[in-house]
Every structure is written in structure tokens, then in C-alpha cells.
Amino acid sequence: MTEKFFTSDAYHTDDNTRRVLPDRLALNTRFYFMARYISIVLRTRREAIAGTYDTAAWIRSSLDIFRLIEDCGGKFHMTGMENIRIDGGPAVFVGNHMSTLETMILPSIIAQEKEVTFAVKDSLVQHPFFGAIMRSRNPIVVGRENSREDLAIVLNKGQELLSNGTSVVIFPQSTRMVKFIPERFNSLGVKLAANAGVKVVPFALKTDFWEIGKLVKDLGRISRHKPIHIAFGEPMTITGTGKKENAEIIRFITDHLKEWGGEVA
């Protein structure tokens, strides 16, 4: 494991953090941000193809993007980070999915404490740019078209990963959405945790700083007036069917989004 960067229970971007470009050049900031972001992705893609993109490299590239976001005006407010390390074993991290931002920066937060991977759509591992990177992280790959088949894949591959000490991040929503719709938040993560006998760490986030692109989802504009919020909840032990715990996760997300001014259906 590499050097740890987030060692406190909370992190808030300092108001004095260096900004690459002044506020009056907000339009240019987007192009600067995307150029730097693409350069990081291309570099990590080369490392993945060469077989050198290990966990330490993943953390470093994730931190590069984290710092790039701050340099371009993003302000992070992260709490509950002690809940990532409070239990030494692997866990299932379950939360809402709003933008590209969380898939890029969560490794810099979670992977420094636990080996981790994601449950992702098959289109991501086949992506011309991200495919090699994602495949190198040994993810759980689902199609998002047959829920019964996806459940079997997640339970089988997920239990294998967890039994070997690798935590799993699951976004139960079918896609990235700015508005949180509880009815579309399935119990996939809770079921995996129950079957594997591990705890669930819920998380809530508001990451619409990095908007969803109209033509290319990953290349949306950045909105520097929108703060970035991420909160991790206490690890939960799943009992019975997990219905109660899944409802608690939904409530955790809903309460935080309302507090942050987010959209909830």
C-alpha cells in the first residue's frame, strides 16, 4: 500500500487552495480541466496495458484527478471517513451515483484503506479509453438488462472477491442521475453483503460539480459554484432479507441530499 493521504475523519478543501485559472476565465477552465483529465486517463491506460497499473498506481491517478478538481475550483466536503477503516475486513460500499466524479476519486479515498473494486456495466470494460483501466481492477461486470442474471453475477463474483479480502463498491441505480429516485435504488449491494457475511458501508454524495455530458457523458461541463459532498455512514450488519437495512441506506442518502440542497424524487 502507498502513502495515505486522507487520515482524518473529515476533509474540507481549504479556501486558500491554489486555483489554476482565475474566476473570470471560467469557460477556459472547463477546457483546461478536460485536457488534463484526458491526459491522466491516457497515461493510466498505458500503464494498464503494460500491466503496471496496480492499486498504488490507481490511488495516485485518482489523487491526481482529485487535485485537478480542486485546482479548477472544486471544493470537497467529506465526512465519516473513519467508517471506511473502523472495521478492518472487506465491506460492500453502497451509495447513489450522480456523475463521473465519484468513480474517479473514490479510489483515492477507499483504496488507501482497503483493497477495492467496483461493480460496473459491461460497456465500461469495453470502452476504448477506460476499458483497459477498468479491466485491470478486476471488477464485477454486469449487463444491466437482466436483473436476475446480474444478481447471480454479483453474488458469485462478489463473494469470491470479498472472501479474498477485496471490498466492492456498488451503485444500485441503473445509471448516473442528478435526481435521487429511491424506487430505482435496488437491494443488490445489501444482498451481496448478506450472502458474503460482511458489513455494508453506506455513502451519500452530491457530485453535480461535474455534470453529465449531453454528447459524451464523461465529458460534461464543470460547475465551480457547486460544492462536492461525500458522506460515509457507519458499517451496517445485514439481518434477514436486508430490506430494513436497504431502507436505512436510502434514508441516509435522502437525508444528506436534502441537507446539501440536492434533488430527491
Tell me the pLDDT tens digit for each residue of 143-160: 867 778 888 999 999 999
Q: Are 154 and 192 in contact (CB under 8 A)?
A: yes
pLDDT, mean of residues 191-211? 96
pLDDT greater than 50 at residue 27: no
Distance CA 117, CA 110 (A): 10
Check residue 17 and give its pLDDT: 61
Distance CA 20, CA 22 (A): 7
Check residue 18 and give its pLDDT: 57
DSSP SS3 for 264: strand
pLDDT greater than 80 at residue 227: yes
pLDDT greater than 50 at residue 24: no
Could you tell me which of 166, 174, 228, 220 has the C-alpha nearest to residue 192? Answer: 166
Percent of the chain with pLDDT over 90: 70
What distances in angstroms separate CA 258 from CA 196, 201, 246, 250, one per listed residue? Answer: 32, 20, 18, 12
Per-chain mean pLDDT for the chain: 90
pLDDT greater than 80 at residue 3: no
